[in-house]
Chains A and B, each alone.
Chain A
Amino acid sequence: MNIFRISWKYISARPLNTLLNVFLFGLGVSIIVSLMLFAHQLENKLEKNISGIDLVVGAKGSPLQLILCNIFHLDFPTGNIPLAEAEKLAGTRFVKEAIPLALGDSHRGFRIVGTNKKYPALYGATLAQGVWWTKEMEVVVGANVARQMGWAPGDTFEGQHGLDAAGGHHEDQPYRVVGVMDPTGTAPDNLILTSVPGVWAVHGEGERTDSIVAEKPSRLIPGILLAENESREITSLLIQYRNPMAVIQLPRIVNTQTPMQAASPAFETARLFSLLGSGLKVAHGLAYVIVFVAALSVFIALYNSMKDRRYDLAIMRAMGASRIKLFNSVVLEGMIISILGGTLGVLMGHGILEVIGLQLEEARKSGITGLFWINAELWIAAGALAIGGLSALIPALHVMRVDISKVLAE
């Protein structure tokens, strides 16, 4: 018999009430934990995806859409841009690196992206199997794509027109998988990469109808020649600045002197997060309200049980218990409930996120998982403990002040 066992016995003597309080605590904590984990992982993913890309240039439209489409591969393209304009921009002194993207087709929701090999290199993607593409219609697939489709080098598939799963098939032109990338935790995990001319070929744009001379080699797309009156198009250009001057100059040049628009990934994701942030704040607020209600419930439960236990407490004093010992035992009761609730909440929080990560297509693609721990959870644990102790404080002080002689004489 010790002080911990006494507290525990009193807690287990009212199981339903304890269950309710533990559950309330757990509910509040689980919402806080899952939101924290979600925001943390989302921020990580966003940051990883935009690192190395200073500017995205594409057709005019919503800048946020441009970023969502061309960096995160979530939204639809704003339109196409002329290859000739893109080439001209890539040649300016502000640009260190420019990577073309040609979107349009997909397979079972996985986008087929025409690009060059600098794109996987941007994310440090390496090959797990096979080789990089060299010819039209050869593709290298991301780790998630390979896993979910069960593909290995040598497999073939048909592209579907459009970026959702409903598009018609390009039946006569199958793609062939030649390589599979290692997981990177970024966008290429869910992409099917191929050459830009491959994407053109599927859409019948590969054929050169003009035959003007004065051709010159493309900067962006290895192996092709640009015509004088070039008419081919791509979706966007990912740009890395060469110097600080570019930060100011390049977006202005693009937005004012060309039919294209430029959007900064850092700026747009910050904007996205501030939009998302207000939603997260509301959910957070709700969680804190629940935790507060839980604390209140623990307080009321203890306060009421102290009334029923006046005699018990007086008898314990008569048996030699000091005031401080009884005080501690009541505070301990509050803390035990909050520890149980906090533990339940942390487990539930991770569970919720893991279930979301497994069940929701988009969450699965972005690699959201519940099996991920962050240091802030320690603060939550400490906070829960403190709240449990605080909610027991008033009942415990009450117990300390009980006049035992009066109670026992009743």
Chain B
Amino acid sequence: MITVQGLTYRYNKHFQLSFPALKLERGGACLILGQSGCGKTTFLHLLGGLRRIQEGSVSIRDTAIESLDDRALDHFRGRNIGFIFQQPHLIRALTVEENLLLAQYLAGKSRDGNRVSETLHALDIDKLRKSHINQLSQGQAQRVAIARAVINHPEVVLADEPTSSLDDENCERVIDLLLTAIKINDSSLIITTHDKRLKDKIPHQLTLTRT
């Protein structure tokens, strides 16, 4: 479960953004809409602890993340939050399997080959296990990125414009995979996008406006 209250972010003296409240139960999905420049990415980064919260509160699984120090926040993020970006951004020096093992290691979990198999299987990319990142197609890489986001059973998956660079067919496929993946792993999903194609897929929507 994730709860957001009274979140305001001040970029500088003259410019600040306030974000609406949000409450999302475990297993739920929510779309954050809005034009570019209205702070979608900032909102997502605040939720994920990539940016420190100045005012307001974000609590995930009953932990107020603004109260954590840097190190604890890093640790908390690794264990409870999965990220998906517009580009897959996999570690190119590693294989698919190693990318997933790295996610387990950095989250402070022990390496679990079975969990890797299970995750790859759920996304139908078992065969890519030993592949190098350079050998993957864009679609395959996106699946690996999803696998990496959910491998640690995160409480919440945060996706920043995951479909904006994809054609209709791939867009549909990726969003379906995401929804399936969070269902299997019992995670919540928050997607920021200006992609109108997603509106029909996820009914729970929140629109940001510049104030």
Contact = CB atoms under 8 A, between A and B. Distances in A.
Contact of B41 (A319, A321, A323, A409): A409
Contact of A1 (B79, B102, B148): B102
Contact of A9 (B85, B98, B111): B98
Contacts of B45: 405, 408-409
A320 B160 CA distance: 18
B110 to A, nearest CB: 10
A9 B93 contact: yes
A344 interface: no
Interface string B104-134: 1111100100000000000000000000000
A319 B93 contact: no
B106 A404 contact: no
Contact of B92 (A6, A12, A13, A317): A13
A3 B192 CA distance: 32
A320 B92 contact: no
Contact of B77 (A6, A312, A320, A325): A320
A311 B101 CA distance: 18
Contacts of A321: 74, 78, 106
B38 to A, nearest CB: 14
A10 B93 contact: yes
Which of A2, A6, A319 has its CB near the most chain B CB atoms (within 10 A)?
Answer: A319
Given A318-B48, A320-B75, A323-B70, A408 B85 contact: yes
- The A contact surface, by secondary structure, is helix
Given A9-B93, A405-B50, A408-B50, A317 B102 contact: no
A312 B91 contact: yes
B89 interface: yes
A322 interface: yes
Contact of B74 (A1, A322, A409): A322
Nearest to A12: B93
Contact of B78 (A2, A320, A404): A320
A2 B104 CA distance: 10
Contacts of A316: 91, 102, 106
B93 A320 contact: no
B77 A318 contact: yes
B94 interface: yes
Contacts of B92: 13, 312
Nearest to B97: A1
B105 A2 contact: yes
A315 B89 contact: yes
Contacts of A323: 70, 74
A357 to B, nearest CB: 43
Nearest to B45: A405
A325 to B, nearest CB: 8
Contacts of B78: 319-321
Interface in A118-162: none
Interface residues of A, number: 23
Contacts of B83: 315, 318-319
A149 B160 CA distance: 83
Contact of A320 (B51, B89, B106, B111): B106
A316 B92 CA distance: 13
Given A1-B111, A321-B78, A315 B91 contact: yes
Contacts of B107: 319-320
Interface hub of A315, A323, A404 (most chain B Cβ within 10 A): A315
B106 A319 contact: yes
Nearest to A319: B106
Interface string A310-339: 011001111111110100000000000000
Interface in A1-25: 1-2, 6, 9-10, 12-13
A301 to B, nearest CB: 14
Contacts of B104: 1
A12 B95 CA distance: 13
Contacts of B71: 322
B103 interface: yes
B50 A320 contact: no
B76 to A, nearest CB: 8
A63 B91 CA distance: 70
A404 B50 contact: yes
B102 to A, nearest CB: 5
Nearest to A308: B92
Contacts of A1: 98, 101-102, 104-105, 111
- Looking at B103, B106, B108, which has the most chain A CB atoms within 10 Å of its CB? B106
Contact of B102 (A6, A405, A409): A6
A322 B85 CA distance: 20
Interface in A193-214: none
Nearest to B41: A409
A322 B98 CA distance: 19
B106 A9 contact: no
B156 to A, nearest CB: 13
Contacts of B105: 1-2
Nearest to B88: A315
Nearest to A407: B50
A155 B151 CA distance: 83
25 contacts: A1-B104, A9-B98, A10-B93, A13-B92, A312-B89, A312-B91, A312-B93, A317-B74, A318-B77, A319-B78, A319-B83, A319-B102, A319-B106, A319-B107, A320-B74, A320-B75, A320-B108, A322-B71, A322-B74, A323-B74, A404-B50, A405-B42, A405-B51, A408-B45, A408-B50
Interface of A: 1-2, 6, 9-10, 12-13, 311-312, 315-323, 325, 404-405, 408-409
